[in-house]
Amino acid sequence: MASGRESVEIRWHGRGGQGAVTAAKLLAEAAYASGWEGVTSAPSFGAERRGAPVTASTRLAHEPVRVLSQVTAPDVVIVLDDSLLAVANATAGLKPGGTLLVNTTLSAAELGVAGDVNVVATDVTGSAEAAGVIVAGQPIVSAAILGAVAKATGLVTLPSVEDAIAGMFPAGPAGKNAEAAKIAYECTPGKGAVA
């Protein structure tokens, strides 16, 4: 399933406690299972507190990845909280023609992102809620977002996402998180589409 591209750089934007770092690791696992031979995942922390903006990076390649720094010129940007578009400069460095995947209830047009960017808007929070992935009263989107990534980019398969989730979580939570990813997959516009 691996894309015909030689490499893909992905930057994640989330808030502390949303699971951006977990999502970046899960994507690396799913990508390896989908045929990418070289994968890395790396977190970046500033003020480590719940709700503070955080980033993470994932690199996929068909050869060993030797660059371990944070992604600054991403092919794909994934935003777990649409409020970060206004405060975290999430689209900085996004390559022309790149994909911006945003967890939001707004449409792509309502997000107001300008430039040569494929904007995919999808309600991943709603998918997590529908599957019952709630911790301390908050829906957790770290696994659900991977279903949206699979559908919007075609970089990984849904079965590889489900396998990565099963490998990271205990059986009960794994089942709920896999269901959330499946719901997000079904609710997300396909590769190249705009919501």
User: What three-state secondary structure class fits 74?
Assistant: coil
Q: How far apart are CA 81 and CA 139, in angstroms?
A: 12
pLDDT in tens, 125-182: 999 999 999 998 989 999 999 999 999 999 999 999 999 999 999 999 999 999 999 9
By CB atoms closer than 10 A (0-12, 13-18, 19+), residue 96 is exposed
The C-alpha atoms of residue 24 and residue 145 are separated, in whole angstroms, by 10
pLDDT of residue 106: 96
Q: What is the pLDDT of residue 89?
A: 86
Residue 190 pLDDT = 79
Q: State the pairing for strand pair 134-135/117-122.
A: unpaired
Q: Which fold has domain 7-104+118-187?
A: Pyruvate-ferredoxin Oxidoreductase; domain 3 (3.40.920)
Task: Kindly write down the DSSP assignment for every residue of 106-138, as one continuous string.
Answer: S-HHHHT--SSEEEEEE-HHHHHHHHT-EETTE
Give every CB contact of residue 37 below 8 A, 6+ residues apart in sequence.
61, 62, 63, 64
Where are the domains positioned within the chain?
7-104+118-187
Neighbours of 149 (CB within 10 A): 31
Residues with pLDDT less than 50, the chain: 1, 192-195
For the whole model, what pTM was predicted? 0.91
